[in-house]
């Protein structure tokens, strides 16, 4: 009998949030300047053909490690490059 691992909420959220990035192509890097801070920002093309901005942050609130904002290209982050 094999024991199936129960997925934690954090593992579930992470998989659901990031899974569609698999196979994406980085098209462009543009630093996002906001309040004197530089945020790493990438334009990606997903396997579906949709283009999205991927902006790296600490977390959704910006104060802890490990979160990526993913927004459609047409309403994504503004760039300074």
Q: How far apart are alpha carbons 38 and 29 in whole angstroms?
A: 12
**With bands split at pLDDT 50, 70 and 90, how would you rate the model's confidence at 24?**
very high
DSSP track, 33-76? EETTEEE-EEEEE-TTS-EEEEEEESSTTSSSS-EEEEEEGGGS
Q: Which of 2-6, 8-12, 19-23, 56-60 has the lowest mean pLDDT?
A: 2-6
The per-residue pLDDT for 81 is 45
- How many Cβ atoms are within 10 Å of 77's Cβ, its own excluded? 17
Overall average pLDDT of the 30-46 stretch: 86
pTM as predicted: 0.65
Inform me whether the pLDDT recorded for 76 exceeds 60. no
**With bands split at pLDDT 50, 70 and 90, how would you rate the model's confidence at 27?**
very high
Domain edges within the chain: 24-75
Interacting residues of 66 by C-beta distance below 8 A, sequence separation 6+: 58, 59
């Amino acid at each position: 009998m094999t024991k199936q691992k129960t997925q934690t909420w954090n593992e579930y959220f992470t998989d659901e949030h990031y899974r569609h990035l698999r196979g994406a192509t980085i098209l462009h890097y543009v630093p996002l300047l906001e309040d004197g801070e530089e945020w790493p920002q990438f334009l990606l093309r997903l396997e579906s053909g949709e283009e999205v901005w991927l902006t790296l942050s600490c977390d959704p609130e910006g104060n802890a490690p490990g979160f990526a904002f993913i927004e459609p290209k047409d309403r994504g982050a503004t760039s300074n490059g």
